[in-house]
Amino acid sequence: MAKRILITGAAGFLGSHLCDRFIKEGFEVIGMDNLITGDLRNIEHLMKNKNFEFHHHDITKFVHVAGDLDYILHFASPASPIDYLKIPIQTLKVGSVGTMHCLGLAKEKNARILIASTSEVYGDPLVHPQNEEYYGNVNAIGPRGVYDEAKRFQESITMAYHRFHGLETRIARIFNTYGPRMRLNDGRVIPAFIGQALRGEDLTVFGDGSQTRSFCYVDDQVEGIYRLLLSDYSEPVNIGNPNEISILDFADEIIKLTGTDQRIVYKELPQDDPLQRKPDITRAREILGWEPKVSRAEGMKITYDYFKSLSQEELQKREH
C-alpha cells in the first residue's frame, strides 16, 4: 500500500517541490498550508492528482488528519527575512505551537517526522564553515531572533519528543536554497536580483557585499531531505551547498548571467545579517551518501530561464 505523508507549508517554495517529489515516488501526499507566504499556483498542477489532497489550515491551530500517516514533513514557516520581520509573532508561533501540533500528530499516528530547521540556528557564526556540533551565535532579542529562536526551539522540542516519547524524528538544517517558484518579492537575494534584472533596475547590495552565502539548488535540497527522512539518523544534518561566494561577487555573476548592464547600488546592511555562511556537509556525505550535484552556474541558469519564461501578468501575480 502507498505510504501517506503530510507536508506542511505545501504551497510554499520548498514544500511544493517536496510534494512533487513524494508524488513521483508513489506516496499519497496531504499538503497543508494557510497561504500566508505561499501560493496555490505552486501546487495547482497536483490538485487533480488522486494521490494528492490539499488542506487549507493554519497549523498554529489544532492539526487533525483522518486516517493513517507514515511520515510528516514540517515545512510551514515564513522563511525570508522580509516575511518574518513583517509577521514576527506568526513566525514564532508556527515554529513553536505549530511544531508542537505536528509532533503531537506524529505521536498519535506513530509517524516519522522531519522538521525543516535552518542554518540560522548558527546565527552570525564564529565557526566557519559551520558543522552540526557548533552551538551558534544568535541574538535572541534582535529582529531576526523571531525566526532563529523559533527554529532553535523547534529543534529542542523535536529532540525532547525523540528522547522522551521515542518518536522517530529527523532534523534538516537547511542552508540558503533557491530555484523556480520562489516569490520574486520575498526579499531574498536571488529572487531580488532576478526581479531587478528582469525589470531593468539596479541591483541592491546590502552593506559592502563582502558577506558570504552558499547557495543550494532546490533539486539537490529535495534529494538531501528525501534521503534524510528515509535514514535512521535523528541528530541534525546540514543540507546545503558548500560553494561559498560573497554577495558582491554574486551580483557580478547575475549581471553576466542576465546579459544586462545594471549598476550595483549599496543599501544599509540589515541588523544581525550574518557575515559568513557555509555548510560543513561531512555528516550528510557520510550518513546519507549525499552531496549537491548542481553547480551555481547551472542552477542559476535554470532559475533565471524559469522567471524569464513567465508572462508579465504571471510575474505580477507572483509578487503578491
Residues in contact with ligand NAD, total (CB under 6 A)?
28
Among residues 99, 154, 176, 214, which is the contact residue for ligand UDP, using CB under 6 A?
Answer: 176
Cα 102 to chain centroid distance, Å, stands at: 17
Is there a catalytic annotation at residue 134? Answer: no
- Which amino acid is it at 274? P
Among residues 101, 183, 213, 318, which is the contact residue for ligand UDP, using CB under 6 A?
Answer: 213
Among residues 5, 28, 30, 34, which is the contact residue for ligand NAD, using CB under 6 A?
Answer: 34
Phi and psi at residue 254, in whole multiples of 5°? -65, -40
Q: In the complex, what is the shortest distance from the CB of residue 7 to ligand NAD, in angstroms, rounded to a whole number?
A: 10
The Cα–Cα gap between 153 and 123 comes to 14
Q: Which neighbouring-strand residues pair with 112?
A: 71
- The reply on whether position 238 binds ligand UDP by CB under 6 A is no
Which three cell numbers mark 224? Answer: 538531501
- The reply on whether position 183 binds ligand UDP by CB under 6 A is no
Residues 229 and 73 sit within 8 Å (Cβ to Cβ): yes
Residue 70: DSSP 8-state: S
Q: In the complex, what is the shortest distance from the CB of residue 211 to ligand UDP, in angstroms, rounded to a whole number?
A: 4
270 binds, among ligand NAD, ligand UDP, none (CB under 5 to 8 A by kind): ligand UDP
- Considering only residues 51 to 90 of the shown chain, the ones binding ligand NAD according to CB under 6 A are 58-60, 75-79
Residues 117 and 151 sit within 8 Å (Cβ to Cβ): yes
Cα 113 to chain centroid distance, Å, stands at: 16
- Quick one: residue 179, left, alpha or beta (phi over 0 = left, psi -120 to 50 = alpha)? left
Among residues 28, 46, 92, 98, which is the contact residue for ligand NAD, using CB under 6 A?
Answer: 98
Among residues 6, 36, 65, 171, which is the contact residue for ligand NAD, using CB under 6 A?
Answer: 36
With cell 525589470, the residue in question is 199
- Considering only residues 78 to 97 of the shown chain, the ones binding ligand UDP according to CB under 6 A are 80-81
- Quick one: residue 2, left, alpha or beta (phi over 0 = left, psi -120 to 50 = alpha)? beta
* Active-site choice (71, 84, 122, 147): 147
Residues with catalytic function: 147
Q: Would you tell me which residues interact with ligand UDP (CB under 6 A)?
A: 80-81, 176, 187-189, 192, 204-206, 211, 213, 247, 270, 273
